[in-house]
């Protein structure tokens, strides 16, 4: 412990350690995927293992896109994709805990959304080819009974049933500061006036290192949760053996970042 009057120096984490960890987490996600043995059957959409693998595949694709954007210092666009990864983690956690029950909820959600989209097309008299309109009408009649009483899933409702419920606050943050054209998001483009300038609007706002590091932190957190969930649902994979070490690294970096933030 430092004595009275001594200065405690806490080294800032910065972007590099998070970027390195993100690359290795991406590799681990890919290894879980390629070493898994999940058969594709006719009943694949009712199979929790198959759906876990599709969620993992989506997250790998999302993560590659987010890293590419962050490497080009575009945090706004990257954070929209990080938000997708968080949503993937909520779904994976519910699939992990609920298995067949959550698969049914996902099916109900799909039917409800298909029915609602079809109703909106007819309600707004969207111009359609006559043959397509007839096929859509037949489809609507076919799923009308199936859709009755079925509920849709929302990120909030799914997140709040999982152990990751507190992370919904991060999801809301990413929605407000990047995904939606809120005043918070639009304020990124505002250049504040100074004693010598009048301010204005910036088409390419300067990316701050701290926000790039934060985005990488959220990205690795979500990807680790998805990969761990998928690995456990399918009963373990050779690729999954590296996940615990990466989780430990993530927690250590998070503690360092939190300590740096508190020290400011």
Per-residue model confidence (pLDDT) at position 231: 98
Is 236 inside a domain boundary?
yes
Is 251 inside a domain boundary?
yes
Is 32 inside a domain boundary?
yes
For residues 95 and 226, give the distance between their C-alpha atoms in angstroms, rounded to a whole number. Answer: 10
Domain that holds residue 124: 16-36+44-187+209-263
Per-residue model confidence (pLDDT) at position 121: 81
As for how many domains the chain has, the answer is 1
Per-residue pLDDT of the chain (264 residues; tens, 9 = 90+): 344 544 443 446 799 999 999 999 999 999 999 999 999 999 999 999 999 999 999 999 999 999 999 999 999 999 999 999 999 999 999 999 999 999 999 999 998 888 888 888 878 888 888 888 788 778 778 777 777 778 899 999 999 999 999 999 999 999 999 999 999 999 999 999 998 988 999 999 999 999 999 999 999 999 999 999 999 999 999 999 999 999 999 999 999 988 877 666
Answer yes or no: are the C-beta atoms of 111 and 143 closer than 8 Å: yes
Is 96 inside a domain boundary?
yes
pTM reported for the whole predicted model: 0.88
Per-residue model confidence (pLDDT) at position 1: 39
Residues in contact with 71: Cβ distance below 8 Å, sequence separation at least 6, in sequence order: 19
What three-state secondary structure class fits 200?
Answer: strand
Is 98 inside a domain boundary?
yes
Is 49 inside a domain boundary?
yes
Per-residue model confidence (pLDDT) at position 263: 62
Is 195 inside a domain boundary?
no
Is 257 inside a domain boundary?
yes
What three-state secondary structure class fits 190?
Answer: strand
């Amino acid at each position: 412990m430092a004595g009275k009057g001594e200065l405690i120096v806490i080294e800032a984490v910065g972007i590099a350690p998070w970027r390195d960890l993100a690359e290795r987490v991406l590799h681990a996600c890919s290894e879980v995927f390629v070493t898994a043995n999940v058969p594709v059957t006719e009943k694949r959409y009712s199979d929790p293992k198959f759906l876990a693998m599709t969620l993992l595949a989506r997250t790998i694709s999302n993560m590659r896109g987010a890293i590419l954007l962050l490497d080009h210092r575009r945090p706004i666009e990257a954070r929209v994709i990080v938000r997708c990864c968080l949503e993937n983690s909520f779904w994976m956690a519910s699939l992990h805990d609920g298995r067949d029950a959550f698969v049914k909820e996902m099916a109900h959600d799909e039917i409800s959304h298909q029915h609602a989209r079809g109703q909106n097309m007819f309600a707004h008299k969207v111009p359609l080819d006559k043959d397509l309109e007839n096929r859509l009408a037949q489809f609507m009649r076919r799923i009308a009974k199936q859709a009755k009483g079925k509920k849709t899933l929302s990120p909030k409702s799914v997140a709040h049933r999982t152990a990751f419920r507190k992370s919904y606050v991060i999801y809301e943050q990413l929605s407000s500061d990047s995904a939606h054209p809120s005043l918070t998001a639009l304020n990124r483009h505002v250049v504040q006036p100074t004693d010598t300038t009048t301010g204005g609007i910036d088409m390419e706002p300067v990316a701050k290192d701290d926000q790039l590091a934060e985005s990488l932190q959220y990205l690795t957190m979500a990807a680790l949760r998805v990969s761990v969930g998928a690995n456990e649902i399918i009963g373990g994979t050779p690729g999954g053996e590296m996940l615990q070490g990466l989780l430990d690294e993530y927690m250590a970096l998070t503690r360092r970042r939190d300590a740096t933030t508190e020290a400011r």
